[in-house]
Amino acid sequence: MRIPLLLGFSGILAAAIAMQGSSADSLLERHTKQLQTATTLSAEYTYQKFPGGPVDYKLKLAKPAKFRLETPDEVVVADGMTITTLKKSDNSYTQVPQKDDDLKKFLKREGVLPWSAFFVKEPFKDAAGAKVGANRTIKGKPVTEVSIVLAGKPERDVTFYMDSSLGIARGVSLKVAPDQQTLIMAKEISVAADSATDSDFSFTVPSGAKKVDPAAVTAATFTQVSTIFQANCVGCHNATRPRSGLDLSSYAGTMAGGQSGKDVIAGDADNSPIMAFLKANGKPIMPPRGALSDADIATIANWIKGGATQN
């Protein structure tokens, strides 16, 4: 049974009225129940970490532990037995046996937060301050805002946009600081009780792609990253006159961040603000005279993913 995205006008109106009269807890419970009783989920959405622009993501989930995520940088496919990761920058991929904790690691990605309840039994157990906000129309769909605070370090202020016809979130906005905001919003989303299609979680090797031994994949060093910064960034971001308060001439300065807070989040390249400026979707793009090469951006991302260590 597939839950339709489009209802008649009277159905949408009735759903919107029902959502308006619901409590925050009941809306979160409905969202959780709808996701946990489904066996598959498919979403096409935009991921936007401000000041960067939106980029397209595609997500497929299937119980008990299958997932597929496609981003501008990579494709990650878990079929229940093997996890394959394709790195688009150099058209290489790795394959490793899927372990029990790999799903938990995947669900920590900010880009899948709106629908983590598909797998997580009590997704809002430690949440606080749940409250209903405004009724809005987003991408032509009536939604109700539900705001909560998710525990963690740091805490995150999250607003779910609950789709009035589906009963699940169409997306979220989240803040870890006043000037660090992310918006995730689905263009298309569906949940179903149908069995997963094997082809959704199979990996087709792209033309010319090379398989890499995971043991041979090592994190970039700060020495490599510093060489890129010295050639392209420190003219503006230096210790003497650090533009926007950001000094990229040293490891300490890089990790300290600028006026808006930390620009590098160790282990999390996707959510490190510096990456939004370095990629083509950044506003403004840095360096201002032109974007870095894909190889240089990949090196910086690899360093961050590897823990952003000083060595």
pLDDT tens-digit series, residues 35-72: 999 999 999 999 998 878 899 999 999 999 999 999 98
| Confidence (pLDDT) at 254 | 95
* Statement: 218-305 belongs to CATH 1.10.760: yes
Nearest C-alpha neighbor of 48 from the set 113, 137, 111: 111
Q: Where are the CATH 2.50.20.10 domain residues in the chain? A: 9-193
CATH architecture of 9-193: Clam (2.50)
Taking the C-alpha atoms of 109, 284, 91 and 44 in order, what is their torsion angle to the nearest 10 degrees? 50
Q: Where are the CATH 1.10.760 domain residues in the chain? A: 218-305
Angstrom distance (rounded) from CA 143 to CA 134: 8
Q: Which residues of the chain have pLDDT under 50?
A: 1-20
Question: Tokens standing for 233?
Answer: 């960034």
Which residue, chain included where needed, has tokens 């989930």? 61
Q: What share of the chain is helix, strand, coil (3-state, %, to 5)?
A: 30, 30, 40
| Confidence (pLDDT) at 1 | 37
| Confidence (pLDDT) at 294 | 81
| Confidence (pLDDT) at 281 | 62
Angstrom distance (rounded) from CA 234 to CA 246: 9
Which residues, other chains included, contact 151 with Cβ-Cβ below 8 Å and sequence gap of 6+?
Answer: 126, 127, 128
CB 235 within 8 A of CB 224: no
